[in-house]
Amino acid sequence: MGAGPVGLFTVFACGMVGLRVCVLDALHHIGGQCSALYPKKPIYDIPGYPSILAGELVESLARQMSPFKPDIFLNTPTGRLEQSVHGWHMYTPQGTLNGRVIFLCTGPGAFTPKRPSIPGIQEFEPENVLYRIDDPSKFFGKHVVIAGGGDSAVDWSLLLCEQGAHVSLVHRRDTFRAQESSLIRLQNYLTTGKIKLFTPYQVMELKGMKGYLDKVRLQNDTRNSQWIPCDILVPCFGLEVQKSPFESWGIAMEAGMIITQPTTSQTSNSSIYAAGDCVTYPEKLKLIMTGFTEAVQGAHHLRRTHFSERTYRFEHSTSVGVPNMSQ
C-alpha cells in the first residue's frame, strides 16, 4: 500500500525474491509527494546520483520495477480489510484483492491537495484549476496564476515561466518559504518582468464562461482588489493528511507511526510489514534511502518467513539478474 518512491522500490525488492505484488494508492498517479508536491525539486542523497529531480527518481523507479509487472490500482483508498487462514482480503471499489502479506509504504498517511475556500472553485476543476502539473509544455502562452508561498509555488512558477507561460505568483505574505537558490532565480525573473508578483494578496474570486476560467480577483489586507487574466489557477497550499486506519488493524503504533523491527520491517502483526516515513523505531531516519533499505530487509524476511514452501537462498543481483516473472 502506497506508490511513493519507497513503495515502488518495494515492488522491485519483492520481485527480486520472486514475489508478485499489487500496489494501491489513494492518489491518481504514482510517486506520492515527490510527484504531487515537488517533481522538479533536486534530491541530493540518493546513492549513485549526485543530484536527481524528484520526478525523475519516480520515473527511474517505475522503470526499475516494470519487469515484475505489478498490478497497480490508483485512486484507490484503503478499503475494508479481513484476515483469514489464507491471508488478507482487501475490499476496494475495483474488487477484492487477496494476498499473503501486506507491505505498508504509505508515508505520513493518505493525503489530498488542500482546496482553497474560493466560491465556485470546483466548477473549474480539473480543467482550469490544477493541483498537479503533468506536462508543463502545455502551458505555453497561457496566463497561469500560482497561489502559495512554499517550494511548490516557487518551483512551478519558475518551471512554467521557462516553458513560455505568463506566470503571476500570488502570496498572502511578502516572504516565501522556499530554497534560497530558487528564490534567487525567482528574483531574477521578477526583475526582468517574466514573472509578475502580487503580495500580500490572495485569490478571492474566479470568473469565466461555461466552466472555462477567464480571470481571477485578487485582494490584499486593506481590501484593495484587482482582476488579472487567468487561464489556469494552480493552488499550492500543501496537503491534507488523512488519519491512518492502521490502529484499527491492531498494529502497534507510537505517535501515529507504525512500530517495526528495524532489521526485518515486520510490525506487531507478523504478516504486515512497513517501510518508509510511516514507520518508527529507535534512531529511525526519515530519508528515502532509509526506506529503500527497510524495503529490501522486509522483502527478504517475508520471502523466507511466509513463503517457506519455496526454496530460499540469498543471492546478489549480479549473480541472478532479474527474475523472469512470466514463468
Residue 68 domain boundaries = 5-112+240-320
Confidence at residue 246, expressed as pLDDT on a 0 to 100 scale: 81
Q: Identify whether residues 136 and 230 lie together within a single domain.
A: yes
Q: Is residue 301 part of a domain?
A: yes
Buried b / exposed e along 126-157 (16+ C-beta atoms within 10 A): eebbbbbbeebeebeebbbbbbbbbbbbbbbb
State the number of CA atoms in the 13 A half-sphere of 144 facing the CB: 31
Confidence at residue 326, expressed as pLDDT on a 0 to 100 scale: 61
Structural domains in the chain (count): 2
For Cα atoms 270, 276, 279, give the angle at the middle one, nearest 5 degrees: 55
Q: Identify whether residues 292 and 203 lie together within a single domain.
A: no
With 70 as the cut, is the pLDDT of residue 129 above it? yes
CB-CB contact of 109 with 4 (8 Å): no
Q: 172-203 pLDDT, tens per residue?
A: 998 898 888 889 999 999 999 999 999 999 99
Decide which of 191, 221, 237 is a domain's last residue.
237
Q: Identify whether residues 225 and 266 lie together within a single domain.
A: no
Mean pLDDT, rounded, of the chain: 89
Q: Is residue 213 part of a domain?
A: yes
Residues of the binding site for FAD: 25, 33, 38, 111, 277, 318
Instruction: Copy the grid coordinates of residue 59.
Output: 520515473
Residues of the binding site: 25, 33, 38, 111, 277, 318
With 70 as the cut, is the pLDDT of residue 244 above it? no
With 70 as the cut, is the pLDDT of residue 63 above it? yes
Give CA separation, 153 vs 26, 30, 196, 269, in Å. 23, 21, 13, 41
Q: 109-122 pLDDT, tens per residue?
A: 666 778 888 898 98
Q: Identify whether residues 44 and 57 lie together within a single domain.
A: yes
Confidence at residue 242, expressed as pLDDT on a 0 to 100 scale: 67
Confidence at residue 52, expressed as pLDDT on a 0 to 100 scale: 92
- E-only strand ranges, 93-211: 95-99, 102-104, 111-113, 143-147, 166-170, 195-198, 201-209
CATH number of the domain to which 209 belongs: 3.50.50.60
Report CA 239 to chain centroid distance, whole Å.
10
pTM of structure: 0.70
Q: Is residue 327 part of a domain?
A: no
Instruction: Copy the grid coordinates of residue 129.
Output: 484549476
